[in-house]
Amino acid sequence: MKVHDTANLQQELGHRFVRTELLEQALTHTSHAREVEAVRSQESPSIPFVAGDNEQLEFLGDAVLGLVTTEELCRRFPTFREGKLSKLRAHLVSEKHLIRVAKELELGNYLRLGRGEEKSGGRNKTAMLVDALEALLAGLYLDGGLEVARRFIVQRIIAPEVESIAGEGGAIPLTDYKSALQEKLQAESRMQPIYALVKEQGPEHSKTFTVEIRLQSASGAQPDFVGRAEGSTKKNAEQDAARQVLEYLLSLPENSRAAVRKAKS
C-alpha cells in the first residue's frame, strides 16, 4: 500500500512540522526500519547504518500525554479526589480510548511498515496505531514545544471524551479492570488473583502475550475460576484476564457471593 502524503495529517494535527524527519520517524514502525537497515548494509557493508523507528518517540509521547492529561484534569475538576482523577486519567490514556483518536486521524494510511507487517494487516492493528499516535505526540512536543502538543491533546483526546462522559451523567467507562477487580475482592475479603505469563510468541517487534489468571477459592484448594487472555502487551493481556474474572463474579447469584464471604470470615 502506498503511504499517503502527510499534508492532511499535519492539518489534522494543527501543526506543520519544521523538522519533517520527526514526523517521518513517528510514523515508521520498527519492521520498516529493520528492512531499510538490511538493504543499506548489503549496499555498503563497511558503513554502519541505523534507521530510526518510532519506539523512543512513543515512549516520550506516553509521558507527554500523561503530564498534559493529569494537568488538564486537575484544572477542570479541582474538587475531584485522587481516586476519581486516577480512574478518569486511566481511561483517557488507555488503548481503548486512544485507538478511536488514531482512527479518526486515519493513521493507518500514513504508517511506514515492513513487508511482513503490511501483509499481516499492520495498518489496522490497534497496538501499532496507538504507538504511532503517542509517537506523534512526542513529535509535536519536540518540533513545536509543549503548548503545541498540549493544544492537540486537549482538543482531540481529552475534551471530546470528558464532555461525552459529562453528558452521560459522569459515569467513567471502566478500562482498568485489574484495579476494579482488586477493589471488589478486597470488599468481599477474598484473596487477590494470581497472574502468570504462560506464553510469548511472534517476532520481537510484534509479540503476543498469553496470561493465565487464577481466582483462589476460600478453602485454598481448587481455584474458583481460571481464565486465559492474549494481548499485544503483557499489561493488556492481564487487563483482559481481570475482565474475565469480574464478569465471572458478577454472574454469580448473590447468595453464592454471600456464602463465600461467610466462609472467609
Concatenating the DSSP letter of every residue in the chain gives -PPPPSHHHHHHHT---SSHHHHHHHTB-HHHHHHHHHHHHHH-TTS------SHHHHHHHHHHHHHHHHHHHHHH-TT--HHHHHHHHHHHTSHHHHHHHHHHTTGGGT-B--HHHHHTTGGG-HHHHHHHHHHHHHHHHHHH-HHHHHHHIIIIIIHHHHHHHHHTTSPPPP--HHHHHHHHHHHTT-PPPEEEEEEEES-GGG-EEEEEEEE--TTSSS-SEEEEEEESSHHHHHHHHHHHHHHHHHHS-HHHHHHHHHHH-
Which of 35, 58, 72, 134 is catalytic? The answer is: 134
Which of 12, 62, 106, 188 is catalytic? The answer is: 62
Asked about 62 being catalytic, the answer comes back as yes
Asked about 134 being catalytic, the answer comes back as yes
Q: Which residues are catalytic?
A: 62, 134
